[in-house]
């Protein structure tokens, strides 16, 4: 029987393959979710560099939020990453949820990024 980590790795690889095939050259909005915080990066895979990044660990976010581990924090990080991506000229991205299901904090981050102006 496959372990939970094996299943997560399979999900992540399957998703990254689909993103690579269907991205059309758009940057990738990657999400990492820990127990206490949430992180987001806009990555240009062609150039191999991070274009913009945001997390609930930043000082301004820590002061404004009660905790970094809820949907309101994820939504705020989504809006912040959208603002920073738009500042460098990125308007369309491909959403990379990694091994996480599109639910809860991951969905809240995606909705916040859409509200901020990113299209995916």
Per-residue pLDDT tens over the stretch 80-99: 999 999 999 999 999 999 88
**pLDDT value at position 105?**
97
CA distance 51 to 26: 12
**pLDDT value at position 74?**
96
**pLDDT value at position 1?**
73
**pLDDT value at position 23?**
85
Check: CB of residue 28 under 8 Å from CB of residue 45.
yes
**Mean pLDDT, rounded, of the chain:** 93
Rounded to the nearest 5°, which phi and psi values hold at 29?
A: -95, 105
Check: CB of residue 91 under 8 Å from CB of residue 59.
no
Any alpha helices (H) in the chain, and if so which ranges? 4-22, 59-64, 71-87, 105-116
Per-residue pLDDT tens over the stretch 39-72: 999 999 889 999 999 999 999 999 999 898 899 9
**pLDDT value at position 41?**
97
Spatial CA neighbour of 74 closest among 42, 43, 113, 101: 113
């Amino acid at each position: 029987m496959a372990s939970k980590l094996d299943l997560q790795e399979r999900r992540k690889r399957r998703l990254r393959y689909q993103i690579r095939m269907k991205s059309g050259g758009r940057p990738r909005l990657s999400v990492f979710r820990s127990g206490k915080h949430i992180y987001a990066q806009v990555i240009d895979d062609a150039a191999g560099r991070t274009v913009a990044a945001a997390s609930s660990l930043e000082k301004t976010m820590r002061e404004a939020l009660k905790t970094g581990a809820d949907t309101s924090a994820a939504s705020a990080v989504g809006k912040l990453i959208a603002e920073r991506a738009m500042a460098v000229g990125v308007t369309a991205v491909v959403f990379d949820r990694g091994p996480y299901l599109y639910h809860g904090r991951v969905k809240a981050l995606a909705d916040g990024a859409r509200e901020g102006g990113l299209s995916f």
